[in-house]
Structure 1
Amino acid sequence: MKLDSTTRFWLASFAVGSVMTAFAIVGMTVGLQLQKPAIEIPVSATASTWSETMCAATGRVDEEIEGLFTLDSLTGDLQCAVLNGRTTKFAGLFRTNVLQDMGADASKKPSYMILTGAASFPGQGGNTRPGDCVVYVIDSTTGRFVVYGVPWQRTLAARGAPQQGALILLDSGTARNVMLREP
């Protein structure tokens, strides 16, 4: 069967168009795979909240591991529960009591607030060093505050082993320069 010139023209046009479309699809696919974002922005979020009897805050203890800090305002017990990134179970528990460190009198009903901050402590020759965040505890009735670190052991965390200990008192201070009289 012999094709006339019009049919040959349309078949040739279709073939050329198909080849060009295939090249365009391959080019876009390769280009999208090679394209990288111009700027990578690290994101980290922390949160804190409090009520009359309990305060809570979150903070990044290690690369992808976050801790939940809770403070019982009635007893002064502060703890940090750390999730294990591999097992999604709590694998770290660190505790202290803030009453003595703040010089607070529990009978005077302290009013606490807590928040976390990022920290990067230099290596101290051993495996244990404070985690990548600190927790601040403030007594709004006296203006006193303390800051604690988490004695995080990275080799235990890498193995998924549980760990526990006392939160480390790093420093203390006061935000109020005048003593208030009680009513």
Structure 2
Amino acid sequence: MKLDSTTRFWLASFAVGSVMTAFAIVGLTVGLQQQQPALEIPVNATASTWSETMCAATGRVDEEVEGLFTLDSLTGDLQCSVLNGRTTKFAGLFRTNVLQDLGVDAAKKPTYMILTGAASFPGQGGNTRPGDCVVYVIDATTGRFVVYGVPWQRTLAARGAPQQGALILLDSGTARNVMLREP
């Protein structure tokens, strides 16, 4: 049986198209198998905000827990409420008052700022060591600042047990080299 030129053209086109499709499928399959896995990028977000009477900041206290630091500008009370990532409940409460540590007079209406920073403290024996973040408190009026750690107990956290205590004063300093005169 002899095929006319039109039939031969369509058969050849079909054959070439089939071969090209097969190469495309093989290429895609090989390419997808050799593709590098997506890079994991750890994300650690913190935030801080303030009003005339209250400051707040967040920071990661441990692998699965986040701390909410609040500072009452009227009283100088600083606290950290720790949210457990597994139970989505508050699992810790740590407190202190910053007035004495900053050496400020509450009657003179200090203006506070707070922010958190990541920290990695070496094990010092025992179970309690500062958490993975610190909180800085700054009195914008005097320029004095302090930094506190959270005495986080990882074994209590692993059991889901609540914990509480005093924030640990780590250090203090001043950001202003000159004294401002009071009005």
Q: Taking structure 1 as the reference length, what is the TM-score of the superposition?
A: 0.83
Q: Which runs of 5+ in 2 are unaligned?
A: none
- Closer, same or farther in 2 for the Cα pair 1:152/1:20, shift >3 Å? farther
> C-alpha separation between the residues in 1 aligned to 2:98 and 2:148?
10
Q: Which moved more, 1:109-118 or 1:78-87?
A: 78-87
> C-alpha separation between the residues in 2 aligned to 1:3 and 1:126?
90
- Closer, same or farther in 2 for the Cα pair 1:177/1:127, shift >3 Å? same
Secondary structure (helix, strand or coil) at the match of 2:137 reads strand
> C-alpha separation between the residues in 2 aligned to 1:11 and 1:160?
72
- Closer, same or farther in 2 for the Cα pair 1:30/1:100, shift >3 Å? farther
Q: Deviations over 1:141-183 (max 9, x none)?
A: 0000000000001111111110000000000000011111111
The 8 Å contact of residues 64 and 84 in structure 2, kept in 1 or not, is answered as no
- Closer, same or farther in 2 for the Cα pair 1:2/1:149, shift >3 Å? farther
The Cα of 1:8 is off from its aligned counterpart by: 15
The Cα of 1:40 is off from its aligned counterpart by: 2.8
> How many equivalent residue pairs?
183
- Closer, same or farther in 2 for the Cα pair 1:4/1:46, shift >3 Å? same
Secondary structure (helix, strand or coil) at the match of 1:41 reads coil
- Closer, same or farther in 2 for the Cα pair 1:47/1:5, shift >3 Å? same
> C-alpha separation between the residues in 2 aligned to 1:112 and 1:20?
70
> Could you say what the CA RMSD is over the residues aligned between the two structures, in angstroms?
2.9
The Cα of 1:29 is off from its aligned counterpart by: 7.0
> C-alpha separation between the residues in 2 aligned to 1:130 and 1:123?
9
Secondary structure (helix, strand or coil) at the match of 1:176 reads coil
Q: Deviations over 1:113-160 (max 9, x none)?
A: 000000000000111100000000000000000000000011111111
> C-alpha separation between the residues in 2 aligned to 1:19 and 1:165?
73
Q: Deviations over 1:20-41 (max 9, x none)?
A: 9899879967975775436332
Q: Deviations over 1:61-100 (max 9, x none)?
A: 0012110000000000000000112210101000000001
Q: Which moved more, 1:99-108 or 1:24-33?
A: 24-33
Secondary structure (helix, strand or coil) at the match of 1:93 reads strand
Q: Taking structure 2 as the reference length, what is the TM-score of the superposition?
A: 0.83
The Cα of 1:7 is off from its aligned counterpart by: 13
Q: Which moved more, 1:81-90 or 1:48-57?
A: 81-90
Secondary structure (helix, strand or coil) at the match of 1:87 reads coil
The 8 Å contact of residues 64 and 86 in structure 2, kept in 1 or not, is answered as no
The Cα of 1:19 is off from its aligned counterpart by: 12
Q: Which moved more, 1:71-80 or 1:14-23?
A: 14-23
Secondary structure (helix, strand or coil) at the match of 2:17 reads helix
> C-alpha separation between the residues in 1 aligned to 2:63 and 2:39?
20
- Closer, same or farther in 2 for the Cα pair 1:37/1:143, shift >3 Å? same
